[in-house]
Every structure is written in structure tokens, then in C-alpha cells.
Chains A and B, each alone.
Chain A
Amino acid sequence: MAGRVIVVTSGKGGVGKTTTAANLGAGLALLGRTVCLIDADIGLRNLDVVLGLENRIVYDLTDVVEGSCRLRQALIRDKRTENLFLLPAAQTKEKDAVAPDQMRKLTLELREEFEYILVDCPAGIERGFKNAIAGADEAIIVTTPEIAAVRDADRIIGLLEAAELYNPRLIINRIRPQMVRKGDMMGIDDIIDILAIELLGVVPDDEDIIVSTNRGEPVVLDRRSRAGQAYNNIVRRLEGIDVPFLSLEEESWISRFKRAIMGHS
């Protein structure tokens, strides 16, 4: 088997990389895929908390690459989804505790065992970023509809290209459809227009994400939440399924009207 290694990155911090990685991982596992999530945000470990696995950590990524433990020992099995595993980041070590070569070697090993390896990248464009992308063959860029976030995304696209990671796909997170409609937030088209990359999905700004993060349960498990549905769509797109983009985002008054009358989406 040769799994896919996908890095989730953004440039800017706080735009939703960790949330995205956790939900795509859980969503893929729900579909029966074997998934390993790597928390590459060394020193600022987060993915464990989002998944509710913080109490189970014994070894971490740095232990593995330093050879202080075997890979198997460091992998934490998820509580809810059977095929989901987490390789946590070290909390106490330096960002450069892992080198790109070690990351490449690690992902090579994981490819043998898992169908998907998702790497949660740290913010920034320094060492931590370079390590995180080292073993990846695909990249997902997360942005929010704000100037600073999109600007950083543009920079990241250039850096990925320089690292020969081509055709990254974009997730626009925290869209607020109402605000877009009122002309108070950049919309999907505005952003895609400017970045000129493929859109992988759109996730609404959703309180359910805060609630689910509080509980340590990825929102993708909650089929009723809008964000959960959005992640589920992205998961299926990753699987190569052609999922139409819901009019979630910039729904025009015409289509809302039609939907109200005809009762379909």
C-alpha cells in the first residue's frame, strides 16, 4: 500500500488548520479509511486536545524520529473512530527537533500502514513549516475570508511551489454567508479569483465547532451541523467524489427563493 501524505497548512495562525486536520482525519476514518494524523506543530501541541486524546499521550513525534521509541508505541488510537490514529507533537521540545529528512523517512514508513497521512502544519514559513511539508505529496491550504489570511495563503502557495509541491487546494474557513451577501465579507469567488487555485471546500463559521472542540469530538461526527456537513463534503472530494458546492456560501436571492418554493437544495 502507498498512502497519500497531505499537509494542511496556511501561513497565518488561527485560521483553522488543526480543526481541519482533525475533521478530515475523522471524516476519512468514518468512511473506513485508515488515517494517521501527525501533529507537526512542535511545542504548540493542539491536535490531541481537539480530538480529545490529550490524556493518552506517552511518546511523541520527536521520540519517534530520535529513536527513543518505536513508531507503533507513539501512535494513539482514536476513541470513537476505529481507523484513526494520532502521532502527537512534542510539547517541550524545539521546533527544529525534527529535520525534513527525518520527516520524509517517517512518512515513508507511515505510507505502508495508512491510506491517508494528514500533517497538521505549524503557522509561519520557517523551519517548522519546512519540516511539516517535507514528506507531503499534496497540500491543503486553509484560509479565512480576511486580507491577512489570504495574503499569507498566497505566500504559502509560492513556497510550496518552490518546494515542488504543486496544485495545492484551498479550504475557505469561517465564511459567514450573511456577511458576504451584505457585502461585508469577501466571498468564495473573490478569493479564488485572486489566488487562482482549486477550491476544495468551504466551511461556515459555526458555533458547533467551538462546542465540539470543547468536548474533544470533531464536528464532522455531528451530521446535523453545517460545519460537519461541510467537512464531510471535503472528505468525499478528497476521495475523488464529485460533490457539488452547496450554495452555502454566496447563495443568491434567486436560488434561496427557488429553494423556499420548490423545497430542494
Chain B
Amino acid sequence: MIEFFKQFWQRDTDSSRQIAKERLRLVLVHDRVNVSPNLLEALKEDLLEVISKYMEIEETGFEVNLDKSENSVALIANIPVKRMKRAIDQGQ
């Protein structure tokens, strides 16, 4: 019976299983980017294409990076804007 109740308690988030899964997830974010830097390069190009519909961008200062902190990873983009468009560029 005790076993029975334990099943419920142990769904909680601090089990070593959850910790392992979370650590693994983060380490793979880093690994995959390091292993294939062209991933970020491709993302940058796609971003540029989308954003250009709305504004004009200073391409030389355009940067996309992953910001790694202890327990999270964030995608940080620095996108210098030259000029906003008046309306969405529906083009193409």
C-alpha cells in the first residue's frame, strides 16, 4: 500500500530522473549548436528574410547567439534597425 502512494509522490519534479533529463536537454542544446554552427547561420538568414518584411536592418551589426546560463539557454538576437516600413511588405 505504501508503494501505491509513493507512485503519486514521486511524480514530482525533483527526482534525479527529472534532473538528469533537464541537464541532458540543456547539454544537447549546447552540443548541437557547437557541432553545427551553420545551424545558427541558417537561422540568421531566415530571420533576416522575415524581419525585412517589416523593417530595414543594418546587416553588418546583425547578430544571433545562444546565451548559456546555468539552467537555461536563450536565443539572443541583436538586430540594428535602420528604418521601419510603413506597411507590411507582402512582396514575393
Q: From residue 138 to 196 of chain A, which have CB atoms closer than 8 A to chain B?
A: 146-147, 150-151, 154-155, 158, 180-187, 190, 194
- In the complex, what distance in Å separates the CA atom of A120 from the CA atom of B36? 27
Per-residue contact bits, chain B 2-42, to A (CB 8 Å; 1 contact, 0 not)? 01101100111001111011011101100110011000000
Output the nearest chain A residue to B18 by Cβ-Cβ distance.
Answer: A183
- In the complex, what distance in Å separates the CA atom of A26 from the CA atom of B69? 48
| Tally of chain B residues near chain A (CB < 8 A) | 22
Q: Which bucket holds chain A's interface residue count?
A: 10 to 19
Please indicate the chain A residues that have their CB under 8 angstroms from the CB of B28 in the complex: 151, 154, 194
User: Dominant SS at the B interface?
Assistant: helix
Please indicate the chain B residues that have their CB under 8 angstroms from the CB of A182 in the complex: 6, 10, 15
Please indicate the chain B residues that have their CB under 8 angstroms from the CB of A187 in the complex: 17
B17 touching A253 by the CB < 8 A rule?
Answer: no
Output the nearest chain A residue to B27 by Cβ-Cβ distance.
Answer: A151
Please indicate the chain B residues that have their CB under 8 angstroms from the CB of A184 in the complex: 15-17
B31 touching A186 by the CB < 8 A rule?
Answer: no
Please indicate the chain A residues that have their CB under 8 angstroms from the CB of B10 in the complex: 181-183
- In the complex, what distance in Å separates the CA atom of A253 from the CA atom of B18? 19
Please indicate the chain A residues that have their CB under 8 angstroms from the CB of B21 in the complex: 186, 190, 194
Output the nearest chain A residue to B21 by Cβ-Cβ distance.
Answer: A190
Knowing A182-B10, A253-B7, the reply to whether A158 touches B16 (Cβ < 8 A) is no
- In the complex, what distance in Å separates the CA atom of A150 from the CA atom of B22? 13
Output the nearest chain A residue to B3 by Cβ-Cβ distance.
Answer: A253
Please indicate the chain A residues that have their CB under 8 angstroms from the CB of B35 in the complex: 155, 158
Q: List 7 A-B contacts (CB under 8 A).
A: A151-B31, A181-B7, A181-B10, A183-B10, A183-B11, A187-B17, A253-B4
The 5 A-B pairs of least Cβ separation, nearest first, read A183-B15, A183-B10, A183-B17, A190-B21, A147-B24
